[in-house]
Structures are given as C-alpha cells and as structure tokens.
Amino acid sequence: MSIAIFDELKNYVGFDENDELRMKSLGPVVSPCLPEVVDRFYETILRHPGARVVFGDVAQVRRLRVSLLDWLQTLFCGRYDAEYYQKRSAIGRVHVRVGLPQHYMFGAMEIIWQSLKEIIYAADIANPREELASLHKLLSLELGIMLEAYKESYSEEIRRIERESMHERLTRAEHLAEIGQLAASLAHEIKNPLAGISGAIQVLRDGLARDDGRRSVLDEVLRHIARLDNTVKDLLVYARPKPVRVRECELNRVVERVLTLIRESPDAKRVVIEYIGDRHFPMIAADENLLEDVLLNLLQNAIHASPPGARVIITARVADGFAELAVEDFGHGMDEAVQRRAMEPFFTTKARGTGLGLSICQQIAAAHGGVLHIQSRPGAGTTVTLRVPSRGNQERDRVSP
C-alpha cells in the first residue's frame, strides 16, 4: 500500500500541523487513563460472540491488551509520517490473518472515540473542542488505514486461494487426460483377445451335446465376457468419443428403439418402464445414436437404483426450442455428496460400475450444446434430464471433445 493514500486521506479530513501539535500536547493528559480505555474496549467486544471467536486463548487476549495500549500511547506521539503509516497498516493484515470480520472495526473505533472523549472532557482543558476535533480526524485516518490494509491483504489472500485452486484443477484435468489415454490403449489391448476367447468358447459350447451340463458353464463364461466387453467399450467411448453426426431425427424413434433393446434384459424385467411422450413430435436436429446411448445409460442407472416392481418413467418433450429426455425413478436416490460427483468420470458407488455412464452422457449433452441435469432425493428417487437445442446449434457437426 502506498504512502500516497495516507497523504490523500490527511488532505481529505484536513489533518495538518496544528492537529499534530494538539495531539502531542494531549499525550501527557490522557496517558494515565489509557489502561481504562483498553479495559472498556475488551469488555465491550468480548460480550459479542461474533467478535469473541477470533480470540484463540487468554494469552492472546493478554497480548492484544499490550498491543492496544501501545497503539493508544503512540496515537498521541506523532510524527504522523511514512513510518507511522507503515506500522499502522500492519494491523489490518493481522486482522485478516486472525479472521476478524471487517465490520467490527467501525464499532470498535467508536468505543475508543467515546472513551477518549470522556477522558478529555474530564481533564482540565480550557476549551477541549479543538482537541476533540483533531482527535476525531486522527481516528478517521486510523480507520482509513486499517480498512485499506485489510482490503489489500484480503484480496491478496483471495488471489492466492484462486491460484491454488486453479493449479489443482489443472493437475486434475491432466491426470484425467492421462487416465483417458491409458484407458484407451488398455481397452484396445483387451478387445481383440477377448473377441478371440469368446469365439473359441462358442465353438467349444456348440461342440457339446444339447444335454451336456457343461453348456451352462460355458454360457455363464460367455455372459461374463460380454460384460467385460461392454466395460471396455465404455472406456473406449470415454477416451475417444464418437464424432457427433447431427441429422434430422425423431425423438419417439429414439425411445422406442432403446425400449426394444432394454426390455430384453433380465434387469429391466424387475421394473415397470413407462413412456410419456407425444405421437406428433416435430423432428429435431441431433445425433440419434448418441441420444440412444444417453437414454440407455440413464435407464440402466434408474433400473439399478429401483426396488423390484417400481416404476421407471421416461418423459420426452419438444418445446421452446429445446428437446428434453428425462428418466425418473423411485429408487434409493443420491445423497448430496454422491450427486455432486455423479458425473465425474470413474466415479461409481457400484461394486461393478465403471463410473463412466453419466460422464459419457454429459459429454454427449455438451457436444449437442446442451446439458445434463440431475435431481435427486435420498430414499425418494432420481430424475436425470437431458436438454438439448431442438434445432441443433452452432456446434452441430462438431466432433465431441
């Protein structure tokens, strides 16, 4: 902070050599009474719970009494120069460090002013009015310095925190990119041998007699391989997303196709899936395959979260320039912590989840210039909504990130 502000402040309140002289002559008069000022100051602020919290222990209060007494004594010493100013501006920084809210300063300075005023009235001074006017100016200066230093130190602190969090976010993004690459190469390495194993086992199974009990063992192995293959596919999609091909497409068709697909799965048979749409939706501009991927992922999550027999409701809407696809379930829902992290890649609460479902959905939403929105209440259920511009946007035909 520059001394120019101090000069400017002095100018502003009209603090000149006469004021300086008056303050110095007051010194010996008020000096014996200053400990009382300190007492009154602490009595008052310690009564306020909000102010009290900044004090660590009794030792700190004792230390501060000494500092404040020193502050009061030097208030009447002068010179009110650069050195004085530097010393005074350290106080604002200390107040930031101890987490003292700035608004307490005004009240605190008022207590000091009232106490000193009473002392000066009680002293044997012929006409105290001028003395009081000088003191008032000086206390305004003190408040100005303290607040200015507070503000500077506070914004420095904010900038430091911002720098730190930016650094953290960058490291995190780099980390995720690395995981993505690793995942992609790993997925490639796994995919081909997996296809070979699956083929070989099918040949073995088909070679067995129809009533051979080992057939069911091999079927089970094939199911496991299919699941592995799906996981690997998810990883690949996440690490190297498909390009977005925006075409005219029909929302009803997207839903119908996904329903045909998913109704076959045993998981889906545990719940009752309903579709609420409109037979006459206008055509929208989007990538049909990607919308299907989103709906499939959302349905899978909804089914996993639902108790047997529960309803899962798909809603489609085209209105006001947007197309919306929502999947609502009445399952276990998510608490706040899970909801906050649900779209993070690799975040999962499931023993066998990859944690990529929602993050892929979010990527697809973003690639369409839209958003994915989660609304959830623990124990009550969840609604996840995809919302994209119905006529595409400037980003159409763009390759997703």
By CB under 6 A, name the binding residues for ligand ATP.
Answer: 234, 297, 301-302, 305, 329, 331-334, 338, 342, 347-350, 353-359, 382
Taking the complex as a whole, how short is the minimal distance between the CB of residue 256 and ligand ATP, in angstroms?
Answer: 22
Interface pattern 265-304 for Mg ion (x via CB under 5 A): ------------------------------------x---
Q: Which is nearer to ligand HEM, 102 or 300 (CB)?
A: 102
First to last CA, the chain: 45
- Distance (Å, whole) CA 346 – CA 354: 6
Report what 100 binds from ligand ATP, ligand HEM, Mg ion, none; CB cut-off 5-8 Å by kind. Answer: ligand HEM
Rounded to 5°, angle at Cα 292 from 351 and 240 = 70
Cis peptide before 169 (omega within 30 of 0): no
244 binds ligand HEM per the rule CB under 6 A: no
371 binds ligand HEM per the rule CB under 6 A: no
**Matching residue, tokens 């911002």:** 162
> What is the 8-class DSSP label of residue 205?
H
Element (H, E) at 273: strand 272-276
Report what 63 binds from Mg ion, ligand HEM, ligand ATP, none; CB cut-off 5-8 Å by kind. Answer: ligand HEM
Inter-helix orientation angle 104-122/129-207, to 10°:
160
- Among residue numbers 105 through 124, which ones bind ligand HEM (CB under 6 A)? 105, 108-109, 112
Interacting span for ligand HEM (CB under 6 A) from 62-70, 113-121, 304-312, 333-341? 62-70
With CB atoms as reference, the residue minimizing the distance to ligand ATP is 357
Report what 109 binds from Mg ion, ligand HEM, ligand ATP, none; CB cut-off 5-8 Å by kind. Answer: ligand HEM
Report what 51 binds from ligand ATP, ligand HEM, Mg ion, none; CB cut-off 5-8 Å by kind. Answer: ligand HEM
Beta-sheet pairing, 322-329 with 311-319: antiparallel
Per DSSP, the three-state class of 388 is strand
Judged by CB under 6 A, the number of residues near ligand HEM is: 21
Report what 348 binds from Mg ion, ligand HEM, ligand ATP, none; CB cut-off 5-8 Å by kind. Answer: ligand ATP
Residue pair 35/69 in contact (Cβ under 8 Å)? The answer is yes
Long-range interactions of 95-101: CB distance < 8 A, separation 24+: 95/146, 95/150, 96/150, 96/153, 96/154, 96/157, 97/153, 98/54, 99/53, 99/54, 100/51, 100/54, 101/50
Interacting span for Mg ion (CB under 5 A) from 106-114, 249-257, 322-330, 350-358? 350-358
- Rg of the chain over CA atoms, in angstroms? 36
Interaction site with Mg ion (CB under 5 A): 301, 357
Residues near ligand HEM, by CB under 6 A: 45, 51, 54-55, 60, 63-64, 67-68, 71, 90-91, 94-95, 98, 100, 104-105, 108-109, 112
